[in-house]
Amino acid sequence: MTRTAAAAWEVLTRLAADNIRIPLAELTDTPGRFDTLSFSAADVLLDLSKQRLDANVLEALQALAEAVDLDSQRAALFDGGIVNQSEQRPALHTALRAHWMLAGIYSGDWGAEELKDVHKARDHLRIILAHWPQSDEAKYITSKLRWDSQAGKNRFQHLPQRNKPLLDLFES
């Protein structure tokens, strides 16, 4: 941890100790608090106005985010970069989950019959097998779906079972 990051954590620790002494009712009675501490995006509202936050805490959180270079770390996570230095390998779980979910959607699972496209589903399964051959998902594809690597598809007529979620099949 850099000195800047350590200092930012120290500030947050001090602010937490200070704010815990203030009655929550006193903190939440601040005029304009909801406007300052609520955020919305894509029809989701995050209301932090009833939390032990104030302008100083938000400023300290922003300083910590900058000290640890959160923007580039988040970008690296979604780009498959190395973000956990102890493992020294790319974080690809977000991409793997996306292909797994799309394979399920295109196979007609989760009530998405209008999106059913067995070719697209198989394309996503192929991507998983190519990029994450040791993952639990790849093991499931090769065993439960009876994947034929020569043909590049499973041996079932359907993928995998009509209206049965992939995760339910994975658990069995």
Q: Minimum mean pLDDT among 3-12, 24-33, 86-95, 144-153: which range?
A: 144-153
The pLDDT value given to residue 67: 94
Whether omega for the bond prior to residue 160 falls within 30 degrees of 0, making it cis, is yes
45-62 tens-digit pLDDT:
999 999 998 889 999 999
CA distances from 107 to 21, 38, 141 (A): 55, 39, 13
Distance CA 154, CA 151 (A): 8
pTM value?
0.55
Distance CA 168, CA 107 (A): 14
Mean pLDDT of 140-164: 62
The pLDDT value given to residue 153: 63
The answer to whether 144 and 170 have CB atoms below 8 angstroms apart is yes
78 pLDDT more than 80 = no
DSSP state for residue 158 in the 8-state scheme: S
Measured in degrees and rounded to the nearest 5, phi and psi for residue 39 equal -140, 145
Q: Could you tell me which residues come within 8 angstroms of residue 95 by beta carbon, excluding any fewer than 6 positions away?
A: 80, 131
The pLDDT value given to residue 167: 47
98-134 tens-digit pLDDT:
888 888 888 777 677 778 887 888 888 888 888 888 8
Contacts 24+ apart (CB under 8 A), 116-121: 118/158, 118/159, 121/159
Domain limits of the chain?
3-68, 93-171
CA neighbor of 28 nearest in space, from 59, 53, 65: 53
Which of 51-55, 66-70, 145-149 has the highest mean predicted lDDT (pLDDT)? Answer: 66-70
Q: How many Cβ atoms are within 10 Å of 8's Cβ, its own excluded?
A: 21
